[in-house]
Structure 1
Amino acid sequence: MKMSFHNPVLFKELKLRFRSPKSFVGIFFYLAAMCVFVFGFIFTTMSLTGVSYFRPTESMLLFAFLAFIQLGLVLFITPGLTAGAISSEREKQTLPILLTTSQSSFQIILGKLLSSVAFLMLLTVAALPVYSLVFLFGGISPMDFVRIFFFLFVTLLAIGSIGILFSTLIRRTIVSMIATYGMMLFLSVVTGFLLIIVLQVTRLNFTGVGPLPTSIVGHVLASINPAVLFATILSPAMGESIAEMTQVKFPVWIGYLIFYLSITVISLWLAVKKLRVNMKRFK
């Protein structure tokens, strides 16, 4: 419990990050852009349909757009915040000083991770009033809202842990950032492209007699792709369609949780093990 609630590295990083007015200016412009998008979407939809009210079905579409905007925010900003957490300390030659303190490797890694993702969590929480506008028009259940934010948090932790791992293993921040963005693109873009290819090959090999052949590879690719998961949450019919095409009844969201929580644990464990690897040579 002491590690979780008394972490000087975490407190120091949070003070440094939020002491600058740039963080709050960034939050202001982010919320302003979200509000412009929401009100622009509402007025554009009302003008195109020729009615003076906003329909619940259109509210669901607006909620989907907001969810994917925040997913893109998590995927593309998290690597930039975490990929230099340890390597920047090494480049500034302050890492040896940090390692000689009484803080354990786990406290250092956890403090760096949580401080790096705290800004994104603040952006996510700050956007809650914008999401409340969607609830005014109906069509969205509170459970949809909770699921979206829960899986955003899981994705944020996983991508952040990968960034911390590469930042620990690689000495240069630029190279670490490139590796983290490459992993993010693989998980979010390449897996989706491979999923389309696998499903197309499965359909081409289908003789037309009986059910479609089982495609475990296709189901795994669907389970680790964030965009596919969000699509299944926002539209349960999408999940049924994937189960029908792959002939695997295992829920996509369970596979997503298992994969990304495993990635988080393994990345943090490796980062902790490799943080003091050079110091052990002199013992």
Structure 2
Amino acid sequence: MSRVWRQLKAVANPFALAFGPIFQKEVRTAGRRRATYILRSLCCLGLLLLLIGVFLVRRAETGVQGAVASLQSMQQMAPAMTLAVGWFFLAVMTVVPPILAGGSLCDERRARTLDVLMTTPMTAGQIVCGKLTSRIVQIIVLALLVAPGLLAVRIFGGLSAEVIGAVTALAISTAVLGAALAVLFSMRQKRATLAAFFALLTLLLLQGAPSVIEGMRFFHARDLFSDAAFRSNILATCSPATMLIIHNAVSAGRDLPHLILETRAASQPPGGGPTIPAAVLDLGPTWAINAVYNLSLAALITLYTTVILRRAMRATSSREALLGATARAPAQKSAEPKESAEPESAGERYARRDRTVGGNPVLWREVRQPTFGSRLIFRIVLVLAVLALGALYALAGLGNPDLHAVLAYIGIAAVMLQAVFLTSGPFAGEREARTWDVLLTTTLSPRQILTGKLLGTLRSFWFIPAVVITDWVIASAFGYIHPFGVLLIALIMIAPGILLASTGLLFSLRFRRPVTAGALNVAVAACLWGFVWFLPLALPAIVRAILYLPGVLGLVNVDLTVDRFLDNHYLNFIDAIFALNPFALAHATALPCLHEATPGGIAKAPFESRLITHELTLDQALAVVAACAAFYLFAAAATVALARWKFKAWSGRSS
């Protein structure tokens, strides 16, 4: 009875439920970690670069104008800068919270304090809510770092406070949902990076599944009914789509749209007369509906996490079975060995059990780790993949180029996500299993350890690229894809993954917590494919800004100088940065290899590939893709060499 009364008191006091001992401990611990301030510094640096780049680009487009024209251009600059910061804010709040909350219970398990935590008088709700609210505090701190940038651009005018509030509510609600999912997966996963990875995938699924289902319904209904319409209200369940709605409204100078629900269709009176208008119900701004949707899902997921944790705490008293760990099976009596006519010698028994490990036991062990946990799961996934490809071929057709393009994009995205999240903890498993010190005492060289871990990590995400390449090989065998297209898409998918796996290996060696390594690996991907664009975009703007300074203007011809600056070498630099992005490179080089099926046969159009400023032939496209792959492989080799050089200092190995 006292236990029930204690639980009722905990539920009746939300403050104690959300801000209890777990919350206080986590907030104090996070404030003492260097990784917390590194993450905040990276966010501030990214925001600063974004604001400077957008300002310089807009300033270069306006040039020297009069006072009135300058004021108008400043008013146009505020929406552009706000939208740029808003997209950056949403991207950060989508990726970072799962990383922050991925180690909620994984870190407790790694530190061997989870069993102690379960013996305290705290309820499951206090544990789960304390873990979640402590991460929400970190999210709010990141939001406060971005909020001054959003408010500062209002000094240019032409922007309402509602837009700032809409962007902030949209991003924070998405972040809370991602953190709640990460706490849920942290209960079952052994590594924080795996929990963050599955939380991010589930977040994308919850955001995109309703809109995708409505789109499928619309396309099927359009074939049956000519008046079928897409119900755009469903887009309020998707944060990126809602952000796009805000983007379009701000760019057009309109008020932010509301979600209108039609309760009664327009009708014509039986006796004639004017048409009775449709009855509608205003549910509020679209961004508010999206925030309510995200927070409602977060509350349900938190409640589900609490129920699972309470069930696990009550269902088992064994520490080994806690949180879904596999309990030891009862010992079975060994069967009596059958007497054979000829007894087996000791040498024969040793030869039967002998397994050749080779000169690198780390590599031998890593390549034999099951990708899917068991052969049964692998066979099930393989059958599902084959059935899915067969269904896609039956519905869309093998000769549909859009099908192969979408599969290629999905494969590239999956490889990038796996390489970012799943490769940042190759040494975390050794530390958690308490085998890291034993591994360091062996005679294995740093090169052997790093090579074995890297190849084992690369082996863990082979399945999705294999499915995509198989699809392209099948289409190429029937003549729907140029044979060189298979080679192009394989290089585009695999080479960047090798680089991110190498950087994840480096960060995992340097930092003990896999969450820190994962966050830095995300920063590497963001810089490589995001912020690197500010180099070609901001450089001409910087030149113009310098030439427009007092004393310089009039001494030189600004336009002529800038035109001379934008010569072929600079355009080549732009194309090189464009080619570094796997999605852009696939669109420019691999997708032109697709052929479309027509009633008269296969329409093999001539190969037309174009980067931003240069057109490419097939041979040139192969050379560009090979050069990009060589760049990624060289960078990966340099990263592994750095890890090998710093191995003794970072691992604590004495010799």
Q: TM-score, normalised by structure 2?
A: 0.35
User: Which residue is equivalent to 1:174?
Assistant: 515
Preserved CA contact (<8 Å) 2:578 2:611? no
User: Which residue is equivalent to 2:45?
Assistant: none
For 1:145, give the aligned amino acid.
V
1:256 deviation in Å?
A: 1.4
CA distance in 2, matches of 1:200, 1:42: 46
User: Which residue is equivalent to 2:633?
Assistant: 261
Partner SS for 1:276: helix
Gaps of 5+ in 1: 44-53
User: Which residue is equivalent to 1:222?
Assistant: 578
Q: Aligned pair in 2 of structure 1 residues 40, 212: CA closer, same or farther (>3 Å)?
A: farther
For 1:232, give the aligned amino acid.
A
Partner SS for 1:155: helix
- Match runs of 1:21-170 below 5 Å: 21=374, 24=378, 27-28=381-382, 31=385, 35=389, 38-39=392-393, 42=396, 58-59=400-401, 61-135=402-476, 138-170=479-511
User: Greater CA radius of gyration, 1 or 2?
Assistant: 2
Gaps of 5+ in 2: 1-357, 545-557, 593-606
Instruction: Let me know the Cα RMSD of the aligned residues.
Output: 3.8
Preserved CA contact (<8 Å) 1:91 1:171? no
User: Which residue is equivalent to 2:645?
Assistant: 273
1:138 deviation in Å?
A: 3.0
1:267 deviation in Å?
A: 0.8
210-219 vs 102-111, which deviates more?
A: 210-219
Q: Aligned pair in 2 of structure 1 residues 142, 281: CA closer, same or farther (>3 Å)?
A: closer
1:176 deviation in Å?
A: 0.3
273-282 vs 161-170, which deviates more?
A: 273-282
Aligned pair 1:213/2:529, yes or no? no
Q: Aligned pair in 2 of structure 1 residues 278, 265: CA closer, same or farther (>3 Å)?
A: closer
Give the number of aligned pairs: 260
Q: Aligned pair in 2 of structure 1 residues 271, 33: CA closer, same or farther (>3 Å)?
A: farther
1:51-107 deviations in whole A, cap 9, x for unaligned?
xxx65xx43x33222221111111001122210002442354422211111221111
CA distance in 1, matches of 2:654, 2:477: 63
Q: Aligned pair in 2 of structure 1 residues 39, 27: CA closer, same or farther (>3 Å)?
A: same
User: Which residue is equivalent to 1:231?
Assistant: 587
User: Which residue is equivalent to 1:16?
Assistant: 369
1:128-185 deviations in whole A, cap 9, x for unaligned?
4433443365331111111211332222211111111111111211100111122123
Q: Aligned pair in 2 of structure 1 residues 222, 201: CA closer, same or farther (>3 Å)?
A: farther
Q: TM-score, normalised by structure 1?
A: 0.74
CA distance in 2, matches of 1:26, 1:188: 35
For 2:581, give the aligned amino acid.
N
1:33 deviation in Å?
A: 8.5
For 1:221, give the aligned amino acid.
I
Preserved CA contact (<8 Å) 2:411 2:464? no
Q: Aligned pair in 2 of structure 1 residues 84, 188: CA closer, same or farther (>3 Å)?
A: same
Q: Aligned pair in 2 of structure 1 residues 194, 64: CA closer, same or farther (>3 Å)?
A: farther
Identity among equivalent positions (%) equals: 22
For 1:7, give the aligned amino acid.
N
Q: 1 or 2, which has the higher helix percentage?
A: 1
1:269 deviation in Å?
A: 0.5
CA distance in 2, matches of 1:240, 1:127: 24
